[in-house]
């Protein structure tokens, strides 16, 4: 189905099933521990062996020698796989570093060997017997130092400019020129990267934890040098990914190589240190923001430059994209700067780009409002735009940022806020409130599905879409139920299998809108087949309550299927609406914090998110996504930081004991409001993404609340008490 004109009235608009708060249909499996996650797939293949990965203990250089004899002779060991005996391996386009290193070492904890044994304990013990001698090379591990050698944008990533930024900024009566820093961060998902691999002849099957099935299939085939049709990837449940499982990682390749070497199925789970140093992470950023404005609060010039690091051939953390679209200004400059670092690979994590970008931009907006003597909410509203600031002839398909800000201010009690910092006390606590805008682009990508109808009236949905804890099973079932006029009890959803049609996959908050649109397209085709089988005109056939009606005639839906059943497959494909309209999601975050007047301990007390993100397909699961994202925002603001050893080139706190994330005690009451919005430009579902929008802006709202509580402005995340202690107001 080609979607190239705005959606009109369609069966989804009935909202009998779609749009209703619906408990996740996979919930009973999750709560009973029977959901089949990758590492526990004892049911899929017998005689599984265990693999244990060995990571490099240097960050850059070469393996001079590797002695694996003691490991091979250890009890229970079946094989030791290295780059020397694995056979030729290619590097897939989506991988920056090679997944099995040697002799060249590109980053710390790069996988250099896999020990396969009868038990996990035997594999781990034997791995400790491998002796490796390295020839070290000097590496670059410090972004602060590396940025000094970066003089401008790369040839592949030019600056975006409009007007005369330098002249307008210099002439602006009110100016801000400030630098902000965000640290390296880890996805820290609950389920580790894990895979079981088995060969049957030249056919490879992997049961793995991956967000993008077709990417994994394509890249695994390329890496192994085998035809794509020889690779079968299965991932029905993913225990959190947050971008870290978008790509083929070492666990999957090592499991496949181990299984090939031993002739046995092999299971591999990366230990937490290898997840943090071996897979991907969010790169640190240094962001310079310049804003010039007139005394009445109109921005005349806005500039945002961001420095980040990555391995050679890696990409920068694109922290400036939201600044190109969020606020009006006639003179503009945005650009990313990339320093080559020999740290582990930087890549997508939890709203990449906008999340760290808004952590800086929305503090800068608060600082500018203070300079102007304007309320921070009013300052943002005053600089709203309904068109792409860089392309004024390109309107937003929907943009309700102002409504989000105003409604949020009303519900949060913003009018009671003291504009003067450090004026509100609650016992020993200094209390402050902060606001930040939320922004995340709506990304469109083709997505396909197959829908089957059987003689019992059961509808089955098949697509390689994944459920990473976001509720994909439920919203796809709701879509099929709405389209085919049946209850949820008549729908079965099968996901995460490369034998199914290729979907959008999960990531970038594009999954829900695109994958449901793919199911919509398949259901349209199935409805046509049903109508034809029943002798009805498909244009006026109504599907409701398990019955198909056309004029004064009706028939049970199941009757059309008959004994053979019916099936239809289609995909949603997008035309140029995405070019003619800017499609984005918007929101506003309001936060109240308390800061201990004596110790500078920070406690988040209240949080509110107001979101405008198209049709909300399932308010219950959407709310869960947003409050989860808000929780991640607390972590990014107050505690999450991968500490870099700038001498040896690795993340020191590479486990969940040293890498702090929020726990229940850190999270207060959270409220989420969804504006009533549909976006017919986006898809037939009139929906957009919402999960990552809930994260974007949270960190800055917390930082702004801390400033309002204490008068201290911290521009270096995470905001820990040591950065506040010597700047706290005197205790009265």
Cα–Cα distance, 392 to 396 (Å, whole number): 10
Cα–Cα distance, 692 to 349 (Å, whole number): 10
The residues with which 2 forms a beta bridge, in sequence order, are 573
CA dihedral 345, 350, 351, 353 (to 10 degrees): -30
Please confirm, yes or no, whether 390 is among the known catalytic residues.
no
Cα–Cα distance, 122 to 612 (Å, whole number): 53
CA dihedral 520, 524, 527, 531 (to 10 degrees): 170
Domains of the chain: 2-35+444-579 (3.30.365.10), 398-440+583-727 (3.30.365.10)
Query: What's the pLDDT at 575?
Result: 96
Beta strand ranges found along 201-284 (DSSP E): 203-208, 231-234, 266-269
Query: What's the pLDDT at 732?
Result: 65
Which residues, given as ranges, of the chain have pLDDT below 50? none
**Predicted structure pTM score:** 0.98
Query: What's the pLDDT at 425?
Result: 96
DSSP state of 620: H
The two tokens of residue 667 are 């999270």
Q: How far is CA 521 from its chain centroid?
A: 25
Cα–Cα distance, 622 to 238 (Å, whole number): 18
Assign 261 to helix, strand or coil.
helix
Assign 701 to helix, strand or coil.
helix
Cα–Cα distance, 410 to 416 (Å, whole number): 10
Q: Locate tokens 């993100």: which residue?
A: 613
DSSP state of 731: P
Element (H, E) at 222: helix 213-224
Name which of 588, 696, 693, 587 is nearest 633 in CA terms. 696
Please count the other Cβ atoms lying within 10 Å of the Cβ belonging to residue 366.
24
Catalytically annotated residue among 345, 462, 677, 692: 692
Is the CA virtual torsion 471, 472, 474, 479 positive or negative? positive
* Burial (CB count within 10 angstroms: exposed 0-12, middle 13-18, buried 19+), residue 159: middle
Tens digits of residue pLDDT in 195-250: 999 999 999 999 999 999 999 999 999 999 999 999 999 999 999 999 999 999 99
Name which of 635, 636, 634, 654 is nearest 644 in CA terms. 654
Paired sense of beta strands 299-310 and 194-200, if any = unpaired
Query: What's the pLDDT at 731?
Result: 75
Query: What's the pLDDT at 289?
Result: 98
Cα–Cα distance, 635 to 508 (Å, whole number): 19
């Amino acid at each position: 189905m080609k979607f190239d004109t705005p959606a009109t009235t369609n069966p989804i608009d009935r909202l009998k099933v779609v749009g209703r708060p619906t408990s996740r249909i996979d919930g009973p499996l999750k709560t009973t521990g029977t959901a089949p996650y990758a590492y526990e797939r004892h049911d899929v293949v017998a005689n599984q062996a265990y693999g244990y990965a060995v990571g490099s203990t240097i960050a850059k250089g070469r393996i001079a020698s590797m002695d694996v004899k003691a490991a091979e002779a250890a009890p229970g060991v079946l094989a030791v796989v290295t780059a020397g005996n694995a056979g030729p391996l290619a590097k897939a386009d989506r991988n920056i570093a090679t997944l099995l290193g040697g002799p060249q070492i590109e980053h710390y904890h790069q996988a250099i060997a896999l020990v396969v044994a009868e038990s996990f304990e035997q594999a781990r013990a034997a791995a400790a017997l491998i002796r490796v001698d390295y020839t070290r090379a000097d590496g670059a591990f410090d972004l602060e130092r590396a940025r000094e050698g970066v003089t401008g944008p790369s040839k592949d990533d030019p600056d975006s400019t409009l007007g005369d930024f330098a002249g307008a900024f210099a002439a602006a009566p009110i100016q801000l020129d400030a630098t902000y820093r965000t640290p390296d961060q880890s996805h820290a998902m609950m389920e580790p990267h894990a895979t079981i691999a088995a060969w049957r002849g030249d056919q490879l099957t992997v049961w793995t934890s991956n967000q993008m099935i077709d990417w994994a299939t394509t890249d695994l085939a390329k890496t192994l040098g085998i035809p794509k049709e020889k690779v079968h990837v299965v991932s029905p449940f993913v225990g959190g990914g947050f971008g870290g499982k978008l790509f083929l990682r070492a666990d999957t390749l090592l499991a496949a190589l181990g299984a090939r070497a031993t002739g046995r199925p092999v299971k591999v789970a990366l230990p937490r240190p290898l997840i943090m140093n071996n897979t991907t992470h969010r790169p640190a950023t240094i962001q310079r923001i310049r804003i010039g404005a007139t005394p009445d609060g109109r921005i005349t010039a806005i500039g945002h430059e961001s420095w980040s690091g990555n391995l050679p051939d890696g990409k920068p953390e694109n922290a400036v994209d939201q600044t190109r679209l969020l606020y009006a200004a006639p003179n503009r400059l945005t650009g990313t700067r990339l320093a080559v670092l020999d740290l582990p690979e930087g890549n997508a994590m939890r709203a990449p780009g906008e999340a760290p970008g808004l952590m800086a931009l929305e503090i800068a907006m608060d600082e500018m409002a203070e300079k102007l003597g304007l309320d921070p909410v009013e300052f943002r509203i005053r600089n709203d735009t309904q068109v792409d600031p860089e392309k004024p002839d390109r309107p937003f398909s929907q943009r309700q940022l102002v409504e989000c800000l105003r409604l949020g201010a009303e519900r949060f009690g913003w009018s009671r806020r003291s504009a003067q910092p450090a004026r509100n006390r609650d016992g020993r606590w200094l209390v402050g409130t902060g606001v930040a805008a939320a922004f995340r682009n709506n990304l469109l990508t083709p997505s396909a599905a197959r829908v089957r109808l059987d003689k019992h009236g059961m509808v089955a949905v098949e697509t390689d879409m994944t459920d990473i804890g976001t509720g994909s099973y439920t919203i796809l079932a709701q879509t099929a139920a709405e389209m085919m006029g049946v209850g949820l009890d008549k729908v079965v959803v099968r996901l995460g299998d490369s034998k199914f049609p290729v979907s959008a996959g999960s990531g970038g908050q594009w999954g829900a809108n695109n994958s449901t649109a793919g199911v919509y397209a398949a259901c349209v085709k199935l409805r046509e087949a049903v109508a034809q089988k029943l002798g009805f005109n498909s244009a006026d056939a109504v599907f409701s309550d398990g019955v198909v009606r056309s004029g004064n005639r009706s028939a049970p839906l199941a009757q059309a299927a008959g004994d053979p059943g019916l099936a239809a497959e289609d995909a949603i494909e997008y035309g140029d609406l995405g070019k003619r309209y800017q499609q984005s999601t918007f929101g506003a975050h309001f936060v109240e914090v308390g800061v201990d007047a004596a110790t500078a301990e920070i406690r988040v007390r209240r949080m509110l998110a107001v979101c405008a993100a198209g049709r909300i397909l399932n308010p219950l699961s959407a709310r869960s996504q947003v409050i989860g994202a808000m929780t991640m925002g607390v972590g990014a603001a107050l505690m999450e930081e991968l500490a870099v050893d700038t001498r040896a080139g690795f993340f020191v706190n590479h486990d969940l004991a040293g890498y702090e994330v929020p726990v229940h005690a850190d999270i207060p009451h959270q409220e989420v409001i969804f504006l009533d919005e549909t976006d017919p430009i986006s898809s037939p579902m009139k929906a957009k993404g919402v999960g990552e929008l809930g994260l974007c802006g949270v960190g800055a709202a917390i930082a702004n609340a801390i400033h309002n509580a204490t008068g201290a402005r911290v521009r270096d995340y995470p905001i820990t008490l040591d950065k506040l202690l010597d700047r706290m107001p005197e205790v009265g």
